[in-house]
Chain A
Amino acid sequence: MIELFKELVDAVSSPVTIFTGAVVVFLLFVTFPRQAASKGGGLTLLFLVLAFFGVGLTDKHFRSIVSAPDNVPIVGMIFIFGYFTWYAMRKAVENDRRMEKGEPTVEQAETNDKVLVFPYLIFIEFVVALAYAVGLVLWSLFLKAPLEEPANPTVSPNPSKAPWYFLGLQEMLVYFDPWIAGVLLPTLIILGLCAIPYIDRDPGNSGFYCYQKRRLGIQVYLFGFWVLWILLIVVGTFLRGPNWNFFGPFERWDVHKVVPLVNVNLSDLLFIKWLGWGLPKEWYLREAPGILLIFTYLILPPAVLAKTVLKGLCKKLEPVRYSILMFLLLVMLSLPIKMYLRWAFNLKYLVAIPEFFFNI
C-alpha cells in the first residue's frame, strides 16, 4: 500500500506537476479564504502535510534527505511559514466578517488609540528573538555543520547546492541567464519590495488585518513568496539530485539518470523549424522577433488593461506608479511563463545574444 503510494507520487512528480499543483493550492487558498483560514481548514492542511512526512519517513532515501543537517531547517520552515500564513489569513477573515456587519475590527475594538512601539512591540519582539536564539543554539549543538574537503575550483560537488536561502535563485537559474536570474531579478525583487509603500499609498485599511479590501496585494505577495520563492527552495533542496536532475521525493538519486532536456532558442525554432530559412547571419536580425516579443509583453498588457479592466486602478495610481507596478508584476510573472515555455516547448531563450552575454 505504502509502496504503491510512493511509486505513484514519484511517477507524477515533475517540475511541471509540482509547480502547477502549488499554483492550484494557492488559487484555492485565496479564493476560499474563509474555509482555508478556519480551524478545520488549517488542521486538514496540517494533517495532510504531516501524513505525507509520516509516510515519507518510512522511506530510507526520503529520511536521509529530510534529516540532513542542512535540510532540517527547511522542513521547519514549511511548518512555520504555513502556520503564520494561515494565522494571518485567519485574523484577516475575522476582520472581514466584522466589517461586513459594520462592527469595529479586532484591533479597533481593543483600542482606538495609537500604541507606542516601545515598550509594547519591542517587548514582544525581544521575547521572540530570545526564543529563536535558544532554538539556534540547540540546533547548532545537535546538528553538526559538516566540514568538507578544501575547495577545489576544478571539482564541483554533484549536485552543487547553494545555501538553502539561495536555492530559489539557483532554481531560477535553470531557466534564465545568470545576468537575469542572478542580478536583475534579485535587484528587482528588493527594489520592488521597497517600492510597495510608494505604490500603495492608500491609508484606508491600515492598522488592522483584512483580506477583502487588500486582495490584490495579499494575493501577489502570497504568490511571489510561496510559489516563486519557498516552493523553489523546497524543490531545490529535496527534489534536485545529481546533475541537477529532478527526482521524485522517494526516488533514489541515481547519478546516471538520463533525462532528455535538449532545448533550443526561439530564433532556432522560428527560423529553422517553422520558416525553414536557416539562421540569419546578423544577431539583430536573428533576435529581432524575440526582442519584439519582449517589448510587446512589457508594453501591450499594461496599456490594454489601463483602458479596460484596470481603468480604476490606473486612475487611482496615476500613470507613473501604475506603469511601475505593472512592470514589476510582469517581471514577476515572467518567471512562471519562462518555466512553462521551457517545459512545453523546450525553449531555452527568447532572446539569445551570446555574443554580448545577453540572453532572456
Chain B
Amino acid sequence: MLSTIYAVLFYIAMAVFTVGLVYRIRLYARTPAPLKIPTTPAPVTRSGVVLRMAKEVVFFESLFKANKWIWLFGWVFHVALLLVLIRHLRYFTEPVWWWVKWAQPFGLYAGFALLGGLFALWVRRIAVERIRYISAPSDHLMLLLLIGIGISGLMMKFVAHTDIVALKAFVLGLVYFSWQPLPADPLLLIHLGLVLVLMIIFPFSKLLHAPGLFFSPSRNQVDNPREQRG
C-alpha cells in the first residue's frame, strides 16, 4: 500500500517537474527580447558570452562581486547539492558508474556542507534586517524544506540505517516499471516525501532561477548592437 502510494507520487512529481519546467523554458525561449540589454561591459562575441555564463553558473561571479557572505554560503550549498545528487545516482544505476562510485565519500561530507550552507543562509535571512524585510513565508519554508531533506538524509546514514538494498530495488523498479516494495522506514518516508514536494513546487517557485539564469538578457546577450540589429 505504502509502496504504491509512493510509486504513484513519484510519477506524479516527476511529471509535474518535467512538464512544468519544459513549459516554463518554452515560455522563456518564445518570449521576444526586442532590445539589446546586456549589462555592460559585456562580451562582444558569442564565445565570450558562453564564458561569461560559465563563470556565473560555476562560480556565481556576480554574487561574488556583491556580497562575500551570501556568495560563500550560497556557493557552498549549491556545490554540496551537486555532490550529494551525484552520490544519489548510485540508487538509479546498476552497475554504478565508476565516477559515481569515486564521488561517494565526497557526496557524504557534502551532506554536512549542504546543511551548513542552508543554516547559514537561514540565519542571514532572519538576522540581517534587509533580508528579513524582503523575505516572504515561502522563502523561509523553502530553506526549511531543504534542511528537512538534508537532515533526514544524513540521519539515515549516521543514526538509523535504512535498508538501502531494498531501497535501490524500489527505485530501479520505478525506473524500469517493475515495482518493488519500499522499506517502511519513517526517516526514509520523510526524506522521499520532502523530495517529492520539492520536485512538485520547483516549476511554480523561485527555484525557476535555475533555468532563468540561462535566459537572462542582461547576461546572455552579445554586446554587438552597432553591428547587428536586435
Q: Say whether A associates with B.
A: no
A interface residues with partner B (beta carbon < 8 Å): none
